[in-house]
Amino acid sequence: MAKDEFQSRQFKVVGTRVPRPDGLDKVTGRARYGADMTAPGMLFGFCLRSPHAHARIRAIDTSAAEAMKGVKAVVTRADFTVTPQDQGTRDILDNVMAGAKALYDGHTVAAVAATSRSVALAALKAIKVDYEVLPHVTDVDEAMKPEAPVLHEGRQQESVPEGYSQNVLARSQYGHGDVEAGFAKADLIVERSFKTAATHQGYIEPHACLASMGNDGQGDLWCCTQGHYMVRNTCSAIMGMEAGRLKVTASEIGGGFGGKTTVFLEPVALMLSKKSGKPVKMTMAREEVLRASGPTASTSIDIKIGMTKDGKITAAQGDFRYQNGCFYAMNGALGAMCGFAPYHLENVETVGWEVVTNRPKAAAYRAPGAPMAAFAVESVIDEMAKELGLDPIELRLKNAADEGTKSAYGPTYPAIGLKATLEAAKAHPHWSAPLGPNQGRGVACGFWFNFGGDTCVSLMINPDGTVSLSEGNPDIGGSRASMSMMAAEELGIPYEQVRTVIADTATLGQNEVTDGSRVTFAVGLATIKAARHAIEIMKARAAQLWGIAPEAVEWVDGAAQPAGPNAGKFPPMTLKEIAETASNTGGPIAGHFEVNAEGAGVSFGTHIADTEVDPETGAVKVLRYTVFQDAGKAVHPDYVEGQLQGGAVQGIGWALNEEYIYGEDGTLQNAGYLDYRIPVASDLPMIDPVILEIPNPGHPYGVRGVGETGIVPPLATLANAVSRAAGVRLTSLPMSPPKVLAAIKAKG
Amino acid sequence: MSRIHVSTTINGDDVDYLCEAGDTLLDVLRDQLDLTGSKEGCASGDCGACTVRLDGRLVCACLVLGAEAEGRSVETIEGMAEGEELHPLQRNFINKAALQCGICTPGILVAAKDLLERNPDPTEEEVRYWLAGNLCRCTGYDKIIRTVLETAAEMRGAA
């Protein structure tokens, strides 16, 4: 086994619940988020947005706005003269500043920078846009029909068969075995169709940035983002700059959940700054966040499962149609890959569809594409368990994927924790607790891939023996604490001796976005290896002082010592002592590590929920909720629990209440927190997290990402609980009171 | 645009500022006084990230005009700690991991402190309803509610 792969060990720091280094700033109001940045001479920038769902832009007259006192720059698409090389970046440019057409309600068509907010907002009103309103489409099934209004010509990939609208951009297919033969062996076949509404990540911090472009072709940008390297690369491509000329610094980030893995305001702010010659700050209002950032896909899904009467799945089939907003995204493919991933299947076939509509381009939302797929698949499994009189956990255990299973999307699993979560759920008191009238219990499983990716870390041994760790991933949920812990663990020093900072793009090499639940895994791996690098240097320094070979030195409990009696007799030399003499032994000591991390280790979870349905109103109350998830190794258990709890509650909102509502005219009807209502404290019970630790073979400490899987099972868990409580199967999300009431009444 | 002169008290200190008629108290706190601990999540009174106390009463600073602070007393998150000494809620929010991204934390702390001053022994349900106007998207509220309850018990024990 290679040294960097998992090795069992006794942890001293990892697994404890230490205070986070950014805690004080965040409880005192000192922490600086995206909108808290200012610069001398700063202007205020705002966007003018399309009121139409689909419209050709015939002309834009900005002359009146430009003539207003205090207005320093007005930009439209005409100012963006560079055409980015790849289609993905061209789509981003088209999304942040409309070209020939406005493609959704809220699409930016122009922007202003002025000396005050009030002047800027007045100037937006003075811009005249001549629109030719076009027919629009916002529903996924409607958008696929040949007669649907078409957003883009000529973007359809060859994978799409004939007979579909050009809005269908791609089709992908996964699976193995022979599903028809499998269905022939089944005692029971159930086929159902499901729909889920688009939802928003709902981060409390709106998008914000501060851009400063000089006429020397260099720029600085501060913004709240999940990945400042992504911001740099995307913005420099759009601005026609070399990446090295744009320095991006990530502010503290007030939530992202995938929604801050792309850019919205940043290129516009840079262009306004370039044109005005002054720093420009832009912030989105909440209404703009909902209308024009990156909500998730809405879906329409068909599932067919065949089973023997003792509960063995003989065949599984799924058709996953995902509405991605106005540009290509691969959510349908991810749904098609994830839906059946928890099961060991002989015969499985799934198809994913990527469909564009007149809605904002979908961004990632915590395990993008997977929760809706799990909702559909796990609902059918629950219905079949009920029909066959089988325990839903036993049925899942009978079919659960394990080490060596060929997954529904192709690869064969290494050691995984699905069965452990199911066994833990079965043994938990929640599963056997009594239920009252109108109450129902649901259970469901969920899967997410997890990711590694480009990672670069530097670890500096300071002259006084403290350690500074620089990493390049915005800390979205306590990762600075986790990195300090892993560095301290490896170096054999106290946690307090290490301080981790998020470096800007000019300070470290490329780092992938904080996404794919990758940070604790990949940055943690790089941190451990950077610490090992520093240890090798420190061992060599001690060897030099002792006059022995570096190979004759070992590192134990934060100190160099001779490795065995033959190496010589020297007292151990601590990290602090080596640091203090570093100037005399060769100069500063720093470890670093760069990697495209692989071996992220897939993740599984099982959730149980109890709900009570009011038969008079259809309102659903969540009574009890328990999450079981495999963390590989929980570095900081508090923050692992926090991920499990937060993911579950986002899923509860998605299942019961949250929904993008578009009117007949294609405009968003509920662009505010009052009408797009996310769960509040009084809606919820405590969320009980149970962490399982099945080590990931691909990480030195066994760590798996935990951030995303928690949102995968709740949609199905709630649907199964509500369906059992109401005595009728709910197949459309959200399960809002009118929908639940209608289902109860239809049942009779 | 002519501006309005306002004299007010913020966290116990006398403060003067000029604001436009349409500026909210939140705009003034953040853009003029550099008190950026109060956050703007919605500007419509729905998220509670800008929660402050005005004459001892919880308000959303985004729903109060800057001009309305004339002659009144404003308490923000920046005034919650006594010098180096954190309020027990602040200390426990760190130690019990009651925050993730932290953007809602200032508003929740101001609201929770107000609750415990009015009701030193709230039930879980009372805490949940008191904080129902403060949105948090990261935590699912579990650790926040627990921490407020545990801090209340700790403060009762110390009293």
Nearest CB among B47, B77, B81 relative to A204 is that of B47
- Interface membership of B4 toward A (CB under 8 Å): no
**Whether residues A609 and A743 fall in one domain:** yes
Q: Considering only residues 61 to 100 of chain B, which have any Cβ-Cβ distance to chain A shorter than 8 Å?
A: 76-78, 80-81, 86, 90-91, 93-97, 99-100
Strand partners, A544: none
CA–CA separation, A341 and A343 (whole Å):
6
Q: Chain-wide mean pLDDT for chain A?
A: 97
CB–CB contact A204 B131 (8 Å): no
Packing angle, helices A228-239 and A87-96, rounded to 10 = 90
Nearest CB among B104, B128, B139 relative to A682 is that of B128
The CATH number given to whatever domain includes residue A58 is 3.90.1170.50
| Within a domain: A154 | no
Within chain B, all domains assigned CATH 3.10.20.30 are found at: 4-79
**Whether residues A284 and A428 fall in one domain:** no
| Within a domain: A428 | yes
Question: In the listed set A597, A629, A658, which residue is the last one of a domain according to the structure?
Answer: A597
Q: Which three-class secondary structure string do you get for A328-346? A: CCCHHHHHHHHCCCCECCC
Mean pLDDT of A224-232: 98
**Distances in whole angstroms, Cα of residue A236 to Cα of each of A275, A456, A597, A739:** 16, 21, 25, 47
Q: Chain B contacts of A647, Cβ < 8 Å?
A: 140
User: Which residues are within 8 A (CB) of A78 and not within 5 positions of it... i.e. 6 or more apart?
Assistant: none
| Within a domain: A488 | yes
| Within a domain: A339 | yes
User: ipTM of the predicted structure?
Assistant: 0.98
Please state the φ and ψ torsions of residue A55, each to the nearest 5 degrees.
Answer: -155, 140
Q: Where are the beta strands (DSSP E) in A374-466?
A: 439-448, 453-461
CA–CA separation, A161 and A43 (whole Å):
51
CA–CA separation, A396 and A738 (whole Å):
32
Question: Which helix or strand (DSSP H or E) is residue A299 part of?
Answer: strand A298-307
The pLDDT confidence band at residue A3, using thresholds 50, 70 and 90, is very low
CA–CA separation, A563 and A569 (whole Å):
10
pLDDT confidence of residue A726: 97
| pLDDT score of A243 more than 60 | yes
**Whether residues A125 and A273 fall in one domain:** yes
Question: In the listed set A562, A597, A632, which residue is the last one of a domain according to the structure?
Answer: A597
CB–CB contact B103 A255 (8 Å): yes
Question: In the listed set A560, A579, A597, which residue is the last one of a domain according to the structure?
Answer: A597
Q: What digits encode the pLDDT tens for the residues A563-621?
A: 988 888 999 999 999 999 999 999 999 999 999 999 999 999 999 999 999 999 999 99
Residue % of chain A over a pLDDT of 90: 97
CA–CA separation, A120 and A532 (whole Å):
53
The pLDDT confidence band at residue A2, using thresholds 50, 70 and 90, is very low
CB–CB contact B94 A285 (8 Å): no
| Within a domain: A717 | yes
Residue A573 CB neighbour total at 10 angstroms: 21
Within chain B, all domains assigned CATH 1.10.150.120 are found at: 88-158
Mean pLDDT of B33-55: 98
**Whether residues A612 and A733 fall in one domain:** yes
- What number of residues does chain B have? 159
| pLDDT score of A215 more than 90 | no
Q: Chain A contacts of B126, Cβ < 8 Å?
A: none
Mean pLDDT of A263-286: 98
Q: Which candidate in B3, B86, B100 is best for mutational testing of the A interface (most A CBs within 10 A)?
A: B100
One-letter amino acid of A87: Q
The CATH number given to whatever domain includes residue A532 is 3.30.365.10
CA–CA separation, A250 and A153 (whole Å):
37
CB–CB contact A206 B41 (8 Å): yes
**How many cross-chain Cβ pairs, A to B, lie less than 8 Å apart?**
185
Three-state DSSP at A590 gives strand
| Within a domain: A166 | no
CA–CA separation, A647 and A371 (whole Å):
11
CA–CA separation, A747 and B128 (whole Å):
35
Packing angle, helices A392-399 and A370-388, rounded to 10 = 110
CA–CA separation, B156 and B33 (whole Å):
35
Q: Do residues A55 and A101 make contact, with C-beta atoms less than 8 angstroms apart?
A: yes
**Distances in whole angstroms, Cα of residue A29 to Cα of each of A733, B30, B37, B156:** 38, 11, 4, 26
- Interface membership of B28 toward A (CB under 8 Å): no
**Whether residues A590 and A689 fall in one domain:** no
| pLDDT score of A229 more than 80 | yes
How far off is chain B from A9, nearest CA to CA, in Å? Answer: 26
Q: Do residues A414 and A601 make contact, with C-beta atoms less than 8 angstroms apart?
A: yes
**Whether residues A224 and A82 fall in one domain:** yes
Look at the block and give the residue holding tokens 């990195």. Answer: A483
Nearest Cα residue to A735 out of A711, A717, A718: A718
| pLDDT score of A15 more than 70 | yes
Give first-to-last CA distance, chain A, whole Å: 63
CB–CB contact A642 B138 (8 Å): yes
Q: What digits encode the pLDDT tens for the residues A123-168?
A: 999 999 999 999 999 999 999 999 999 999 999 999 999 999 999 9
| pLDDT score of A488 more than 50 | yes
Mean pLDDT of A110-117: 97
Question: Which helix or strand (DSSP H or E) is residue A527 part of?
Answer: helix A524-546
B4-79 is a CATH 3.40.50.9100 domain: no
What is the arrangement of strands in the sheet containing A559-562, beginning at the earlier edge strand? A553-556, A559-562, A573-574
**Whether residues A668 and A615 fall in one domain:** yes
**Whether residues A535 and A630 fall in one domain:** no
User: Which residues are within 8 A (CB) of B157 and not within 5 positions of it... i.e. 6 or more apart?
Assistant: none
One-letter amino acid of A730: L
User: Nearest chain B Cα to A257, which residue?
Assistant: B138
pLDDT confidence of residue A697: 93
- What number of residues does chain A have? 748
The pLDDT confidence band at residue A7, using thresholds 50, 70 and 90, is confident
The pLDDT confidence band at residue A1, using thresholds 50, 70 and 90, is very low
| Within a domain: A691 | yes
- Tally the domains of chain A: 3
- Residue A564's domain comprises 23-31+452-597
Fold of B88-158: DNA polymerase; domain 1 (1.10.150)
CB–CB contact B102 A205 (8 Å): no
**Whether residues A678 and A620 fall in one domain:** yes
User: Nearest chain A Cα to B88, which residue?
Assistant: A27
pLDDT confidence of residue A4: 60
CB–CB contact B78 A22 (8 Å): no
Q: Chain A contacts of B44, Cβ < 8 Å?
A: 286, 672-674
**Whether residues A279 and A383 fall in one domain:** no
How far off is chain A from B33, nearest CA to CA, in Å? Answer: 12
Nearest CB among B97, B138, B145 relative to A255 is that of B138
Percent composition of chain A: helix, strand, coil (DSSP 3-state, to 5) = 30, 25, 45
Q: Which candidate in A16, A27, A252, A649 is best for mutational testing of the B interface (most B CBs within 10 A)?
A: A27
pLDDT confidence of residue A565: 82
CB–CB contact A254 B105 (8 Å): no
How far off is chain A from B121, nearest CA to CA, in Å? Answer: 18
Q: Chain B contacts of A19, Cβ < 8 Å?
A: 94-95
CB–CB contact B44 A33 (8 Å): no
User: Nearest chain B Cα to A119, which residue?
Assistant: B1
CA–CA separation, A357 and A149 (whole Å):
9
How far off is chain B from A573, nearest CA to CA, in Å? Answer: 33
Nearest Cα residue to A676 out of A688, A661, A686, A687: A661
Counting Cα atoms < 13 Å in the Cβ hemisphere of B6 gives 28
Q: Do residues A609 and A714 make contact, with C-beta atoms less than 8 angstroms apart?
A: yes
CB–CB contact B97 A118 (8 Å): no
| Within a domain: A155 | no
Q: What digits encode the pLDDT tens for the residues B117-135?
A: 999 999 999 999 999 999 9
- Interface membership of B127 toward A (CB under 8 Å): yes
Give the pair of three-digit tokens for residue A445.
């499983």
**Whether residues A581 and A471 fall in one domain:** yes
- Interface membership of B150 toward A (CB under 8 Å): no
**Whether residues A467 and A589 fall in one domain:** yes
CB–CB contact A29 B77 (8 Å): yes
For the CA atoms of B79, B80, B84, B90, the dihedral, rounded to the nearest 10 degrees, stands at -150
Sign of CA dihedral A251, A253, A257, A263: negative
Q: Chain B contacts of A202, Cβ < 8 Å?
A: 137
